[in-house]
Amino acid sequence: MKRTFAMLSVLMVAAMILSACGQATPEATEPPDVEVTEAPETPEPFECDDDIGCVTYAPDEPIRIASALVITGPDSQLGLDSQYGVEIAIDFRGQVAGHDVELQAEDDGCSAEGGQAAGQKIVSDPTIIGVVGTSCSGAGVPMSRVISEAGYFMVSPSNTSPVLTDPDNAWNPGYLRTAHNDKVQGAAIADYAFNVLGLTTAAAIHDGDPYTEGLTNAFRESFQALGGTIVAYTAVNKGDTDMRPVLTDVAAAGPPGFLYYPVFTAECALLSKQALEVAGLEDTVRSAADGCISDAAALAIGDASAGMYWSGPDIAFAGQLYEDFRAAYLDKYGTETLSVFHAHAFDATNMIFDCIESVGVLEDDGTLHIGRDAMRACLYATTGFDGITGTLTCDAVGDCADPKISISEIQDGDYVKIWP
């Protein structure tokens, strides 16, 4: 008891000190929380007339941008790939508006909780101008709200869920993306199956992930719109290993000419292998999507990859810039590209840099002021931006991608584009 008491009194003193500190702070904790730079000699001190507020970087300070990508856990290759894209963009660019650029890398955890926590961490730092992220749409939904309410902006390199740019759903001002919308990929794979392969019946399997479910749904709608028939639309669970019952069920319902399962590596490999062993699916064409495009996936699928297709963003980009990019990637990280959204991240970062240069106000001594609302306006007004992934033009809800979907197959262990 006495000990508790002594502890409590220490706490009391600490509390008093801390609360004194608390009162000492200026109450301006709202978004325009800006470091006041003292520049007495300047004849006309800069006045911020931005609707949200300005970020000011002193002459020797780097511009700070954040990334919120999935860099740990089972999906980490997706996020690391994008983060490398951002880092290479920073390296290539050198200085922006006369300042260095510093990246604050956060982890979106590929979950709603992770996205929100990363978002709150970012908006608690007033020196960060904006975010490249998130990797996963599920993390993007809560994070875009946090980012938006705090007056920041985010450009996602790999969110593809349609809800994120749907103002009636989860879109918030300040959200943009350079990745394609799922609807585009669903339409492309349906087009390939129906028109190129000439198959009129299809089945689709998702694994309950928001991404795969959304994409499967988009495929179903597009395939039906083309005049095809969906004979089975079913699902497995993440962590399932015995897919034969599900596949037998699909076979019993059709069997379909085309089977689309845009799930992730583990379940994708199991489905690919076991579909060959189920009676009735011998003539069915199997197809997965970008969640299953990785070296580990190719190894895990092994020989079963013969006759299989993958849909995903077209990363057979032309041009010297992409050659340089891949060389730098290999040089810096000692590996070929890990996933498919590095170029989208590169373009997103450069879009941000272009806007910083066009809206930033540079004083004579090198102090840089950037209006947050001006940044948003500039990003949404991006037209004809020339990036690796194509010519990007943003619409009013931030869909900036120049979407190109390709179909690939595995030849000698490598994914090779075969269409279009």
Partner 1 sequence: MVKSWDIDLRIPLRFGLIAGLIALMESVIGIVTLSWERSLVANVVTMGQVLLFAPAIVIASMAAKQANQDKKLVSLLYGLVTGFLTAIPLIILIAMATAFDLRQFMPNVSPALIELLTFGRSPVAGSLILLGVTSLMGLLAAAFDFLPKFIQRPLLMGLIVTLTIGIFSEILSNRLRDLVSVDFSRAIFEGKALKTIIAAGLFAFVAVLNFLWNQFQEPIRGAFGSLPPRLTRVLRVLVILVLIALGLLIPTIAGTYLSEVINNVGIFVLMGLGLNIVVGFAGLLDLGYVAFFAIGAYSMAVFTTEGPLGVSNMSFWAAIPFCIVIAAFAGIVLGVPVLRMRGDYLAIVTLGFGEIIRILALSDLLKPYIGGAQGVLKIPKPTIINFFAVIRDFFVNLFRGLPLPKAPFETIDLIKPEQFYYIVLAGCALAWFVSWRLGESRLGRQWMAVREDEDVAEAVGIKLVSTKLLAFAVGAAFSGLSGAFFASKLTSIFPHSFKLDISINVLCLIIIGGIGSLPGVVVGSIILVGMPELLREFKEYRLLMYGILLVVMMLARPEGFIPSAVKRREMLTADEQMQASAETESAAGD
Partner 2 sequence: MRSRLANIDFIGVFLWVIRAAIIVAVVWGTTATILNNTYTTRQWTDFLVFGVAQGSMYALIAIGYTLVYGVLFMINFAHGEFFMSGIFTATVFLALPMDNAGWLDRNPLLGLLIIAVVSMVISVVIAVVTERIAYRHLRTAPRLVPLITAIGASFFWQNLYRGLLGGEQKPFPQLEVLTGTIPMLGTEIQKVHIVVIIVTIIMLIGLNFFIIRTKTGKAIRSVAEDKEVAALMGIDVDRTITITFITGAAMAGIAGVLYAMVYRQVHFFMGFIPGIKAFTAAVLGGIGSIPGAAIGGLFLGMFESVGPSLFLKGLGIPAFNQLKDVIAFTMLVLVLIFRPQGILGEPLAEKKA
From the list 111-119, 223-231, 257-265, 317-325, the region that binds partner 1 by CB under 8 A is 111-119
CB of residue 72 to partner 1, shortest distance in Å: 4
**Residues 125-154 interacting with partner 1 (rule: CB under 8 A):** 125-126, 138, 141-142, 145, 149
Of partner 2, partner 1, none, which one does residue 245 interact with (CB within 5 to 8 Å by kind)? Answer: partner 2
CA distance linking residue 75 with residue 210, whole number of Å: 14
Among 80, 117, 370, 392, binds partner 1 (CB under 8 A): 117
Q: How far is the CB of 108 from partner 2 (least distance, A)?
A: 17
Q: How far is the CB of 236 from partner 2 (least distance, A)?
A: 6
Burial call 44-72: b when 16+ CB within 10 Å, e when fewer:
eebebebebbbbbbeeebebbbbbbbbbe
Torsion of CA 397, 398, 401, 403, to 10 degrees: -20
**β-bridge pairing 54-57 and 368-371:** antiparallel
In the bound state with partner 1, the residue whose beta carbon lies nearer, of 25 and 320, is 25
Distance linking the first and last C-alpha atoms of the chain: 77
Of residues 138, 99, 106, the one with CA closest to residue 120: 106
266 binds partner 2 (CB under 8 A): yes
Contact call for residue 35 and partner 1 (CB under 8 A): yes
Task: Tell me which of 30, 91, 166, 249 binds partner 2, using CB under 8 A.
Answer: 249
Closest CA to 216 of 304, 271, 288, 139: 288
Pick from 116, 156, 159, 265: which binds partner 1 (CB under 8 A)? 116
Instruction: For residue 85, give the 3-state DSSP assignment.
Output: helix
CA–CA gap between residue 191 and residue 184 (Å, rounded): 10
Which of 32, 100, 111, 404 contacts partner 1 by CB under 8 A? Answer: 111
Q: Taking CB under 8 A as the rule, does residue 413 contact partner 2?
A: no
Question: Which of 179, 108, 120 has the alpha carbon at shortest distance from 145?
Answer: 120
Beta bridge partners of 370: 55
Count of other CB atoms within 10 angstroms of residue 312: 25
User: Among candidates 205, 143, 203, which has minimal Cα distance to 175?
Assistant: 143
**Which partner, partner 1, partner 2, none, binds residue 116 by CB below 5 to 8 Å per kind?**
partner 1
Least Å distance, CB 189 to partner 2, is: 20
313: nearest Cα among 347, 353, 286: 347
Q: Which helix (H) or strand (E) holds 67?
A: strand 63-69
Query: Any contact of residue 7 with partner 2 (CB under 8 A)?
Result: no
Residue 237 is a binding residue for partner 2 (CB under 8 A): yes
From 48-56, 70-78, 164-172, 377-385, span contacting partner 2 (CB under 8 A):
70-78
Q: Should residue 29 be labelled a site residue for partner 1 when binding is judged by CB under 8 A?
A: yes
Strands 390-392 and 368-371 turn out to be unpaired
x/- site string to partner 1, residues 199 to 218, per CB under 8 A? -------x-xxx-xxx----
Of 1-9, 220-228, 344-352, 402-410, which part binds partner 1 (CB under 8 A)? 1-9
Q: Which residues bind partner 2 (CB under 8 A)?
A: 73-74, 76, 208, 233-237, 239-242, 244-246, 248-249, 251-253, 265-266, 269-270, 273, 277-280, 294, 296-297, 299-300, 302-303
